[in-house]
Structure 1
Amino acid sequence: MEINQITCPTGSTPYIIKAGDTFFQIARTFGISLNALIAANPGVDPNRLFIGQVICVPTAAPPPPISSCPTLSIGSRGASVAQLQELLRNAGFNPGAIDGIFGTGTQAAVIAFQRSRNLVPDGIVGRMTWTALGVNCAPTTTCPPGTFAYTVRAGDTFFTLAQRFNTTVDAIQRANPTVNPNSLQIGQVICIP
């Protein structure tokens, strides 16, 4: 069965089964629950998958965007700083008191977090740091028709994205002519055909 012979409902994308695939592994790869994957494929026996079989994978619902992903640094104050401090604490990086004041303790926690995620450890919280903390910053990239905005996650490469979204590395490169595929950053927004 070819991928163009199956129509997946809105909110899902076709996926071709490869050697070694299991529903559990596919659900983990796409960041969805196993139950959601099973529910999206009522006629498919998860215990009898075969290479080349096409299934529908629900697209994971991203967390709702916050009103903004403000750039924060030493001296910043307010609710966004308190949210940052809570996210840092939840990620295992102690910013000190959750007081809405971006001081040296918060800066040290930000730098340690950025280092742990291979981000530039500058102590400044921008879009990439917010995204690495799990915040869905509304993408600022406008993608051309026939493509959609995608926020790069840990471990993503053009090759793995081409496999995940049933496209080619060349097509992704053409949709992102200014992006260096060898230096993708967590939180970077690219266009996927």
Structure 2
Amino acid sequence: MRKALKMVVCGALLLAALFSLSAFTSAPSAHAATLGMNPHTTPTGTTAHVVSYASIPPDGPNCPRTVQKGDRGSAVKLAQQSVNWFYNHTNLRSLVRGKGILPIAEDGIFGQRTKDAIMAFQEWDYPAAGSIDGIVGPTTWHALYHC
């Protein structure tokens, strides 16, 4: 009986290890690779994925918590770091040039300047989505590659 239980536990651990490994070996996003966010190259013949923002669940299970003006904490800091990354590595810089919006302090405090930066990012990334509100919810977290 003890040997059978040991085999079941070992089998479960093996399956868990294989499942965990599969999360790290999935194919990289072509869009992320073009932005330099993915160290892997895009396979020949593939194209960037197209995401319908309407298909993102309202409370994405893998998204950080929704943050907005007045919030503080690590989720706010992650949003600030991510928007600054896009500012430094994409043409978002040309959209906000001369407006004094970006870069922003990565202090974990969601103030007016952070809200303005999030709105600029939303306008740059998905202007047709109609949700340029300065709130970092599932749609914006997805656009920032965090869910």
TM-score (norm 1): 0.37
More helix by share: 2
Report which of the two has the higher share of strand: 1
Bigger relative CO (Cα 8 Å, ≥ 6 apart): 2
- Please give the TM-score of this superposition, normalised by the length of structure 2: 0.48
